[in-house]
Amino acid sequence: MRPSGPTSTSTTPSSTTTPKPGPDLIEIGPVEEQLLDETKERPIVAALIDPEDFSPKRAAEVAVKAVEAGVSLILVGGSTLANQGRLDAVVRSIRNHIKLRPGHRKSRQVPVVLFPGNITGVSRYADAILFSSLLNSANPYFIIGAQALGAIEVHKAAIESIPMAYLVFGNGSATSFIGQVNSLPPSKPGLAVIYALAAKYLGMRTLYLEAGSGAGEPIPQETVRAVRKAYNGLLIVGGGITTADSAGKAAKAGADLLVIGNLLQSPGYEATLRQIVSATKRR
């Protein structure tokens, strides 16, 4: 409950009283705290599962194998998802099948976190949500409109919210098309830095640099490195990371969390995913 201000016996005018922050302010929750704790030691890897591409059964199978490969987080979402029931089914199936991460010193559960592309990306069965704003969209809907509409669903679901700024680079991806972005040139670090600083000053504790779903190339090291110098929150990098080499470069440039998505649909992805996880340990 928020402080009610001075009592009737107080001589201090109520108009000069500054109430203390209450518990409703967005504080760091257990999932975010876990991610911050793990990334203090080394960069970590997340597996991104799009419900449009995976049935609930297949999503659970991939999630289990990803955990066995060493990922620290399962993300669920996509830019074109429109079926709320399918999202719920996929999230529930994943949560029912993944167990404690094998061999981890703290025996932590791998969290299932939503990565929504629109208001249909909210599920009450998830552990948390990346509550993001697409800062470089040309459409205010993706900057604040969808967030306002989806906020009530997040509130009703009572799931942990992680404030995040989202930046999309390059052209030609579904993300850039759907999000109507003013695409950032991957080779222009200075443009990425000004958005990173804006995210920082707006109080967004997490920043996601996205090359786009199915991107042919990951975000260049120099761009990640420049953003890292300007932004001290949790830095996520995704898109085009399909090899141990590209993962290692992103980790060395300063990424805290690498997102692996399209690779999960390729034959033999398990071996490559293990190599990617191992590469992040060598930052």
How confident is the prediction along the chain (283 residues), in pLDDT tens digits per residue? 333 343 333 443 444 444 444 445 678 999 999 999 999 999 999 999 999 999 999 999 999 999 999 999 999 998 766 678 899 999 999 999 987 555 554 546 899 999 998 998 999 999 999 999 999 999 999 999 999 999 999 999 999 999 999 999 987 677 777 888 898 998 899 999 999 999 999 999 999 999 976 667 899 999 999 999 999 999 999 999 999 999 999 999 999 999 999 999 999 999 999 999 999 986 5
pTM here? 0.87
- How far apart CA 181 and CA 55 sit, in angstroms, is 29
CATH topology for 28-280 is TIM Barrel (3.20.20)
CA nearest neighbour of 167 among 242, 120, 235 = 235
- How far apart CA 34 and CA 124 sit, in angstroms, is 20
What is the torsion angle, in degrees rounded to the nearest 10, for the CA atoms of residue 125, residue 130, residue 48 and residue 107? -70
Say if strands 44-49 and 160-168 run parallel, antiparallel, or are unpaired: unpaired
Amino acid in the structure at residue 169:
F
In sequence order, the 6+-apart residues with CB closer than 8 A to the CB of 184 are 136, 167, 168, 169, 170, 191, 192, 195
Q: Residue 106's pLDDT is what?
A: 52
- How far apart CA 179 and CA 173 sit, in angstroms, is 10
Q: Where are the alpha helices (DSSP H) in 70-144?
A: 84-97, 140
Q: How many CA atoms lie within 13 A of 197 on its CB side?
A: 9
DSSP states along 135-157: TTBSSHIIIIIHHHHHHHHHHHH
Cβ count near 257 (within 10 Å):
24
Output phi, psi for 231, to 5 deg.
-125, 125
